[in-house]
Structures are given as C-alpha cells and as structure tokens.
Amino acid sequence: MTRIHSATELEEVRKGIVSKKDPNKPCVAICGGTGCLGGRESLIHAFEEEVKKQSLEGKVDVRVTGCHGFCAQGPNIVIYPEEICYVKVRPEDASEIFSQTLIGKKVVDRLVYTDPNTGKKAVHQSEIPYYKKQTRNLLGANPKIDPRSIDDYLAIGGYSSLAKALLQMTPKQVLEEVKKANLRGRGGGGFPAGLKWETARNARAELKYVICNGHEGEPGAYMDRAIFQGNPHLIIEGLIIGGYAVGAQQGFIYTRHDMPRLRENIDLALKRSEEYGFVGKNILESGFDFQIEVHLDVGIFVSGEASALMRSIEGKAPEPRPKYTRTAVKGIWDRPSNLNNVETWANVPQIIDKGADWYAGIGTERSKGTKMISLSGNIVNTGVVEVPFGTSLKEIVYDIGGGIPKGKKLKAVHFGAAMGGTLPAELIDTPLDFDVLAKLGAAIGAGGLFVMDEDTSMVSMSKFFLDFLANESCGKCVPCREGIRQMLRIFTRMSEGKGKEGDIETLEELCEVGSLASLCALGKTTSSPIRSALRFFRNEYEASIKSAEPTAERSSAANQEG
Amino acid sequence: MSDILLTIDGKEVRAKEGTSVLGAARSAGILIPTLCHHEKLDPYGGCRLCTVEVESRGRINYVASCLYPVERNLLVRTRSEKVDRIRKVILELLLAHAPDSPQLMALAEEYGAKAERFDKESSFCILCGLCVRYCAEVKKKHAIAFVDQGPKREINFIPEIASKECWNCKECFPLCPTSYLQAAYLLTEALAFPRHAFTSASGK
Amino acid sequence: METGESCSHLREGNRLGRSGRMEVGRAMDESRINEIVDKYGGKANSVIMVLMDIQHENHWLPREVLEKVSHKLGVPLGEILHIATFYKTFSLKPQGRYEVHVCAGTSCHQRGSGKILEKVQDLIGISPGETTSDLRFSLENGSCLGCCTLGPEMVIDGVHHSNITPDDVEDILKNYT
C-alpha cells in the first residue's frame, strides 16, 4: 500500500480498486454486530468452512461487516450481488445457503424475512419495510463494505471529502460549511458543532485537539458502536477534516474497552489510513499534519462526559469539571479541545462532499440531517435505524419498529435513559426534533429510544434510573451525591408502598436544587426523568403514597382510574 | 492583567482578570458561605454552598462562586430565593450526616435548614475534601485519599504513608468540619497501621 | 427460593485449580510491570492504560503492584487507589475464572433481568461485585452492554447467552467448570 500524494492520485487509486472489483462475484456479507454474533465465531466459521468444503476459495467472498441494524431478526446475512437478505441464520444453514443460493441461485424460503403483521415475505433489503422506511445516509454502507478494508471504503468514495477539504478549501471555509449545514451534536447536547469548532478555532493556543467521543454510555444507545465498528474510516475522515478546520494537529479517539472487534477495526483503520497517508505528516501534500491516538474508556458512565473524558485522557480519574471555561477553550491539559460524538463526526464527510445546502435540505428547520436511533424495550424490531429529523415517533415505533410485542398497548417512550425524559403514548405523533422534544422534557439524548408497554410502573422506572445514576455519579458534589442518596430512600419507600406525605414535594425540591447547583450534566439531569414522570404520570406517584399496595399493582390501578 | 468591572449585590466591584467571583466578593466585603474552600488550596467546587446567581447577556445561571471567573458587566446576586433554597437544601443534606458540626449548625440557623429533615446517615463525613487536598497540595504527602464513587465515596488514610507521616503532622485535623477525620485516623491507626509503625512513628 | 442438591456442584467448584489465571495472591512479576509501564512511555498520564493492561492480564490489581506502579510512574498511591476504586473495570480482589455479567441496562431490566440476576445469585451464592470462594465465578451486573435485542442476557467470557429465562440459568452455568 503506497502513500497517496494528491487528489489525482487518490482518484487513480480509487479507479484502480473499483476496476479490480467484480460486481458479479458472489459474496456472503455476515453482520458482525454483537447482536447478531453474540460473541460467538461459529456462524463465520461455518461459512468459511463451507467455502473450503465446496472448493470455492477465491470464487466466493465471505465478509464480516458492521452492524446492518436489523438486530431483532439477526443473525443477518446479505448475499451479493443479488442483495438477498436472510434472517435468523444459524451455522447449520451455511451449506444449504451455499448450494441453493450461491450456486443454485435460488432463494431459501424459510430464511427470508416475513412481516409478522402482514405475513408478506421480502427477499431484498429494498423490499423489507424496516429498511425501506429508513434514510440510511450513514448506515447504508455497513452491509456493503468490509470494515477492515480501506480499499472498500475508497471504492465507495471514501476520503474524497478529505481531499476536497484539504486541497480545495481553507480551514475557515470548511468551518463555514459545517456551520451552514447546522450540524448539531449527536451525543446528547445537540449543540451546533460549527459553533463549538469556531470557539476552538478562535482560542489562542499553539496546540489544539479534536476528540471523538465513542464512549456511548447511555444505556440502550448502541448506534455509535454500529457505525464505528462497521465503517471506522467514515469517522476517521470526519475527525481529520475537523482537525483541519479547528487548527488541531492531534486527534483522540476515546472508545470502549469491552468490544474487541470494534477496537481491532479502529486500530486497523488507523494503520491503513497512515499507510495511505491520510493520517500523518503533510496529508495529500496539503501541508497539514495530523495524528490520532486511541484511548480506551474504563467502564464508568461519567467518563463519557466531555470534561471527565479529558481528565481520563490526561491519565486522571474522570471527574467532570464545571464548564465555566468551555473545554473548547480549555480542555485537555488546558488546551482548546473540540469534542464531538461519533455520529457527529460521521456526518462531516457528507456535508463536505454534497454541501451544506444539500444537508440542510434534510430534516426540520432547526434539526438537520438524519439521526440514528437505537430501539429497545417493549418493541418488536429492536435495532439501529436511521431516519431524517422530522419523522414522527409513531412512524419510528410502529412502521419501522414493528409496534409493541405480545399485543400490548404502548404506554410511553423514553429518550436519554437516566438523564432523559418520558413521553406518554398520547404524544406519539411528536416529530423527531431536538427542540420539540426538549420542550416536552424528553430531549433526544444520544438517540436511544426506549419503549414501555402498559405493564410498566413509572415509579419503578424512576427508581431504576436513579439506581443507575447512583452507580455512575462521581460523588464529588453535594447536590448530586446526597441528592441521589435521599431520592433513592424516598423511592425505596414508595416502591414498597410506604411513601410518606411530603415525599413528592421533597423530590421536587431535590430535583430543583440538583438541576441548578450540581457540578456537571449528570447531576443536573438526574432530575429529568423524575420531573418528566411527574409531568405526565403524577397520579402513579401519588398512588404510591396514599395506598399500601406494592407499586406494580398500584400503577395499573392508577391507569384504570386516570 | 486588566481590571474587570462587575456588580455584586448592586455594588460595583473591580477585580483582576482570573479572580473568582468569591474572591471578588470577599475583597468588597461581601460574604458568601463556603465549606470546602480554603485559601491555601485550589478551589474545589464540591460543596456548592457558595452557589450564586449570575446574569450575563440576559441569561441567568447558578454557579459555584469559588470557581466562576469574573466577567465584564456580570451581575451577581449572592442571595435570592433560589440561592437561599439551594443553600438550605445543601445544608439539610449534610446535616443528615453531621448534625453536630458547629459550622453546619451556624449556617443552618441562617438559612432555616432543618437538621431533622432527612433521616440520619451512618457516616458523618461530608466529603468536603479539605483533608485530602491539604495533604496533597500543601504537605504533598498524599497520606489520605478519596476512594469509591458516588454515594459510596469515602476518605481513606493510606496506612503505609499515614503511619510514617501523620503522627508528627496532623495539620489537617483542625480543617475537618465534623471531626470525622480524627475518628478515621484513630481507626486506621488502631486497625491498619503496619506493626513496625507503632514503635517508630507514634513512639508507643 | 429452594436450592437443592442439583446446585451444590455449582458451588463447590474445582479445588485443584488451574495454572495461569488461578494464581491468587501471586502479584505480577516486576519485569512484566516494567514492560507495561514502558509500553506507554512511563508517562504519569498513562496510569489508567497501565492499570487496564495489568487488570486484563492479571485479572486483579494487588496492592504491591499498585505500589510499584505508583513508584514507577510518579503518581501518588492515593491517586491510584482513587482511580482503581472509581472505575468498575478494576478489581482490588482476585477475580474468578469466569466473569458472569448479567446486563442490568434499561431494556434488559424491562425484559426481566432482575429475575435472571436473582437466580444466578441463588445458584452461585454471591452478590454483584463478589467472587465465589473457589474463585470459579465473579458476578457483575453493571451497565448496558449495547446489544438490547439479546436481552435479557448474561455474558460469560465474552459469549452472550441471550433471550434467557431464569430456567435457563442453571444449564448455562453448568458448562463453566
């Protein structure tokens, strides 16, 4: 693999790669996501063995891809070039798939997706409702490329945005384009990325940093892992472009320690991009130098918080710092550090490639582009989906998500896990939008959409979120540490039916103080799920105080009344 | 370093750039209560008792004045309904741990904090960190450290270091608002000091 | 909840032990610690990465090892203890041969992970954060593992036992001797 020295050379290499690819060569693309493989290698081995058994080495490719997103129907495989999707595939199916489909060019009916509501079968991805109704600008490449092959990424146009940014645009122009596109942070803040970049850019310092936050600690959110593991170069390209715009020559990738495949894919992607010269000195002869260092998270939620993460990169305990001086001005080692989420970085190449106007044409007035959503809880199609902002929650939950299992009724949906908020079923027509959801007290967070059916107790749910926060709070400041302690005592009482008069008022006061006086966002948003539950499900809380029945029964009783 | 002009409780105050709102207030004779603050130590921002209301460009925020840097034209209110409520609740939360602390009791009276509001907690450490930080920043011995996270957070003497350093020092003892520190030291000495420490360090 | 004869084999475990992971109380070789420290350039800010590598290899962080790391990196022992007790990845006590992780994320909880955890606790006799006395199992029930479609689930040695019911637990654990 030789270093690429110019945009022209890049295009030549790309053409060379594409010309060598045989579009008709059969390929079995196996989803390598944890949801499909479950930590086992048996499915992959079965197909690799089958290639050998049938003496098809070199004639059939077996490729392990990133997450396809259709977790509920996994293990998923796609057969190319026909794009035949097989669902719930087992290692034992390998030989039949080979003889019937790869060689015999026939479809194995029992492995084809069947819509549980209509009974209709759908063979190709383009026919399956789950995929059809999405706009997979980011995820679309996952089933098609080998995440360990930089050539696959180049074949689909990868690094052309980097070339355009470095060689045809000034850093300021790149920044302006991202500002114009109104790319907003996808990690939970929703803050305009362009403005954050600008702050870092304007901060006067010799050394600056850009950081990719791949911590993804929000329970129920797993879309960052899907895109990072499946298309690591997409994020790397975005990060380099960001570094260029901000004036940073050092990038940090902060990622999870508990996913070997993800880590391997990132390490390999960095190695390959260095070989081609996309990372390193004088990238594409632009004069721009950029290095990337990978740091691993250590298994605590708060280390996903920007300032805590930066402490962690410095080698210290991840205690958040108050953001009186923004990290974009003083971050790692007090140097300007621009931190963005994985999905945010993933959006950058397409903005540069197709332009801010194109990007701003997707979504709503103030929420542009697409958003990856990971569905979980009481929903048929648990998985990762991608939709434009503005899509109604109803469409996400029912048309794409397949509705509620076991014939139950929807009670509520929840964004943002322990730091987020709940929307009752009556508000299911709400569009996916940063500001609309924030106004309803259920800010989108990282995009993990948790669905609750009619059997859910909202009081239990609130206690569950508090337990999570108790486990994750750093414990430095009083309003959070002691607030959580006392709120848990109240919730324990309430869930045993021993709620005292005044408990709800105490909760409300602790929420107020916590939200105003806590040191960091974790402490401040501890109150969000509780306030949200009190806003829409107050009767359940009240019922847990008056009566002596345990919580679950009381909640269904309360629901029948109100 | 230029001078910054801001308003604290209606009074015009001049402060050097980089000064905290707490520092600026003190220089103007305006009192803001603190617990975890100490002039020999880096500001910590843990107790949040020094929270004040700040208004800048029409936006109101609640910040820890020991850490918040002065800004031009900043409007600071050191007392308000919300600020007082924040302080009252912080005190009540801490009184659940250390109802007998003289500092907490004095402040409780001023802010109407009720010691009985929350049931008594088993540990009377309020985790202000004065001991840990003093030993790290001033004595540079690191004989005492924070361990664990969240509600489980504690201070622990490190027996190997404490057995050598503490007997002749104990400078952190008067800093503790609740005397938990002294109790923790005695307990560590009794239960965890290495055997040899008893003949050398404490002279027993 | 009854735990009959059938469960006793899960509690007793293999007292003969195995080499490698089973070497309890044996702190890591100084030369190996030096190798790890050097891998990250001996810089103070690499302390977390150094501890991670040691935890990964040794499966726990003995006190003597922490003291050595403190000395080599110039990071106060108190700071290292703060870090080691702060992060859940680190254990200051020997871990079992098999780390059983019952996912306690929101979605798994909604799908009944509480009952799975109860059954596991019952069968192997320890609570989350603890290790069986024969060092066979350590139990964790921490954060969401990010594969919500598999819930409720139990991950042992990287393998996900997915969509399980309490009745499945005993058969699964039997395989881990």
Chain A environment of C41 (Cβ under 8 Å):
none
Task: Give mean pLDDT, residues A45-71.
Answer: 94
Assess A90–C contact: CB distance below 8 Å, yes or no. Answer: no
Chain B environment of C73 (Cβ under 8 Å):
none
Nearest residue in C to A374, CA atom: C148
Read off the DSSP letter of residue A363. B
Using the Cα atoms of residue C71, residue C73, residue C78 and residue C82 in order, give the sign of their dihedral: negative
Q: How confident is the model at residue A301 (pLDDT cuts 50, 70, 90)?
A: low
pLDDT of res. C46? 83
What is the nearest CA distance from B141 to chain C, expressed in angstroms? 8
Distances (CA, A) of A465 to A91, A414, A488: 38, 11, 10
Q: What three-state secondary structure class fits C148?
A: helix
Assess C43–A contact: CB distance below 8 Å, yes or no. Answer: yes
Domains of chain A: 23-141 (3.40.30.10), 158-360 (3.40.50.11540), 370-453 (3.10.20.600), 458-561 (1.20.1440.230)
Task: Give mean pLDDT, residues C47-51.
Answer: 88
Nearest to A479 among B90, B118, B127 (CB): B90
pLDDT of res. C17? 28
| Res. A26: pLDDT tops 90 | yes
**pLDDT tens by residue, A488-515:** 999 999 988 889 999 999 999 999 999 9
pLDDT of res. C20? 32
Look over chain C and give the mean of its residue pLDDT values, rounded to a whole number. Answer: 83
Nearest to B142 among C67, C79, C86 (CB): C79
Q: Pick from A146, A136, A140, A114: which is nearest to A44 by CA?
A: A146
Check B160 against C77: CB less than 8 A apart. yes
Assess B138–C contact: CB distance below 8 Å, yes or no. Answer: no
Nearest to B86 among A482, A485, A517 (CB): A517
Judged by phi (left if over 0) then psi (alpha if -120 to 50, else beta), residue A475 lies in left
Distance CA B186, CA A331 (A): 40
Read off the DSSP letter of residue A57. T
What is the nearest CA distance from C24 to chain B, expressed in angstroms? 22
Q: How confident is the model at residue C31 (pLDDT cuts 50, 70, 90)?
A: very high
CA of residue C143 relative to chain centroid, distance: 13
Check B149 against C78: CB less than 8 A apart. no
Nearest to C78 among B145, B148, B149 (CB): B145
Higher pLDDT, A318 or A4: A4
**pLDDT tens by residue, C80-135:** 999 899 888 889 999 988 999 999 899 999 999 999 999 999 999 999 989 999 98
Picking from C85, C88, C90, C93 by the largest number of B CB atoms within 10 A of its own CB, the best residue to mutate is C85
Instruction: List all chains that touch chain B, counting a touch as 3 or more CB pairs closer than 8 Å.
Output: A, C
Distance CA A378, CA A401 (A): 10
Q: How confident is the model at residue C11 (pLDDT cuts 50, 70, 90)?
A: very low
Distance CA A286, CA A281 (A): 9
Burial of B182 (0-12, 13-18, 19+ CB in 10 A): middle
The H-assigned helical ranges of A247-341 are: 260-276, 306-313
Distance CA C155, CA A7 (A): 47
Other CB atoms within a 10 A radius of the CB of residue B32 amount to 22
The reported pTM is 0.89
Nearest to A475 among B62, B85, B153 (CB): B153
Chain B environment of A472 (Cβ under 8 Å):
149-150
Chain C environment of A382 (Cβ under 8 Å):
107, 148-149
Residue A85 makes CB contacts below 8 A (sequence gap 6+) with A70, A76, A77, A78, A112, A113, A122, A123, A124, A125, A128
CB A344 within 8 A of CB A193: yes
Distance CA C146, CA A304 (A): 15
Residue with tokens 């080691």: C84
Task: Give mean pLDDT, residues C37-41.
Answer: 91
Q: What three-state secondary structure class fits B149?
A: coil
| Dihedral pair phi/psi, residue A443, rounded to 5° | -55, 145
Chain A environment of B47 (Cβ under 8 Å):
477-478
Tokens for A483? 């607030």
Pairs across A and B, CB distance < 8 A:
95
**pLDDT tens by residue, A246-278:** 999 999 999 988 888 899 999 999 999 999 999
Q: How confident is the model at residue C37 (pLDDT cuts 50, 70, 90)?
A: very high
Domains of chain C: 30-86 (no CATH), 95-174 (3.40.30.10)
pLDDT of res. A425? 98
The residues with which B12 forms a beta bridge, in sequence order, are: B7
Check B149 against C85: CB less than 8 A apart. yes
Chain C environment of A378 (Cβ under 8 Å):
110
Assess B121–A contact: CB distance below 8 Å, yes or no. Answer: yes
Q: What three-state secondary structure class fits B20?
A: strand
Q: Pick from B37, B39, B32: which is nearest to B62 by CA?
A: B32
Instruction: List all chains that touch chain A, counting a touch as 3 or more CB pairs closer than 8 Å.
Output: B, C
Task: Give mean pLDDT, residues A16-28.
Answer: 94
The percentage of residues in chain B with a pLDDT greater than 70, rounded to a whole number, is 96
Nearest to A517 among B62, B118, B121 (CB): B62
Chain B environment of C70 (Cβ under 8 Å):
none
| Res. A283: pLDDT tops 90 | yes
Burial of C9 (0-12, 13-18, 19+ CB in 10 A): exposed
Domains of chain B: 3-79 (3.10.20.740), 130-200 (3.30.70)
How many CA atoms are closer than 13 Å to the CA of C78, on its beta-carbon side? 22
Distance CA B38, CA B179 (A): 17
Distance CA C67, CA C72 (A): 9
The H-assigned helical ranges of A393-495 are: 393-394, 434-439, 458-472, 478-495
Nearest to B151 among A479, A481, A510 (CB): A481
DSSP track, B91-144: HHHHHTT-TT-HHHHHHHHHHT--TTSSPPPS-------HHHHIIIIIS----E
Check B142 against C82: CB less than 8 A apart. no
